[in-house]
Amino acid sequence: MTSSRRLSTVILPIHRWNQGGRPLWVRAEELGFHAAYTYDHLAWRTFRDGPWFGALPTLTAAAAATERLRLGTLVTSPNFRHPVTLAKELITLDDVSDGRITLGIGAGGNGFDATTLRGSGEEPWNPRERADHFEEFVPLLDRLLREPTVTQEGRFYSANEARNIPGCVQRPRLPFAVAATGPRGMRLAARHGQAWVTTGDPKLFESGTPDQSVEAVRGQIARLGAACEEAGRDVAELDKILLTGFTPGSPLGSFDAFVDFAGTHFELGFTEIVVHWPVPDSVFALDTKVFERIATEALAQFD
């Protein structure tokens, strides 16, 4: 992954492929987005009682429908994934796409993903337990995607002569974009990530101000730098991705508002900003003309 100013989108997996899904991914490539991501959840927030399709099959279909567009998840988590089976699927997806896959990966939250596979009376993992699982999940997945045969016995995850031949098209493996704000996640990003992902500070979303959000994100980038220094790595090696939609204010309210927002965050050091594909009658509702103008004209404002 190269460090430059890029604009990407995330397409929610809510459309039947042959009834409106396929054209969105094709259009994302036509508009010139660097990448199109999708969420990897079993269900998500207010969309729970409507259509919601699997991330990896959706990305496989998108890979067949596009030629240049990078594709990926924002984000996959250990909540319902195992490194061994996930690695096999990712290697296949990387092959189908001819090396256009980025794995966004995070510790997960306490939503439906955390409870769907739990038995009656079984509590979901608390934040510390999620971090514990994530800390073991990422290094094992890293090995599985790099090495043809892996045997490892861990506290939470094991692999017994797991075969992953021929490996990824991208060498030594497809890139990880690690979503993290806490110290343990930051260390994983520094050690294993080719990119780092944030949505800002969730505590500020409803009651904070845009200026407070900028300062919070500035602090996150500083902590990422400290984690990289501890790992003996230059923080400039990592792409820095901001997923919009979870910070105070209305950065997508108009073209000019987005340019101001993007300029501020590019100056902070972000290399990629991700905007949600418009979803009518939802928190992601947005005028299509504004969205397409952002896609096609916004980056030119920084030349």
Residue 41 pLDDT grade (very low, low, confident, very high; cuts 50, 70, 90): very high
> What pLDDT is recorded for position 121?
85
pTM of the full structure: 0.96
Q: What is the average pLDDT across 72-76? A: 98
Average pLDDT for 67-82? 97
- SS3 string, the chain, reads CCCCCEEEEECCCCCCHHHCHHHHHHHHHHCCCCEEEECCCCCCHHHCCCCCCCHHHHHHHHHHHCCCCEEEEEEECCCCCCHHHHHHHHHHHHHHCCCCEEEEECCCCCCHHHHCCCCCCCCCCCHHHHHHHHHHHHHHHHHHHHCCEEEEECCCCEEEEEECCCCCCCCCCCCEEEECCCHHHHHHHHHHCCEEEECCCHHHCCCCCHHHHHHHHHHHHHHHHHHHHHCCCCHHHCEEEEECCCCCCCCCCCHHHHHHHHHHHHHHCCCEEEEECCCCCCCCCCCHHHHHHHHHHCHHHHC
Instruction: Give residue-wise pLDDT tens across range 75-121.
Output: 999 999 999 999 999 999 999 999 999 999 999 998 899 999 988 88
Question: Residue 1 pLDDT more than 80?
Answer: no
Arithmetic mean of pLDDT, 51-62: 98
Mean pLDDT (whole number) for 17-22: 96
Q: What is the mean pLDDT of the chain?
A: 96
Q: Is the pLDDT of residue 33 over 60?
A: yes
pLDDT at site 291: 97
Share of the chain above pLDDT 70, in %: 99
Q: Taking residues 179-193, what's their average pLDDT?
A: 97
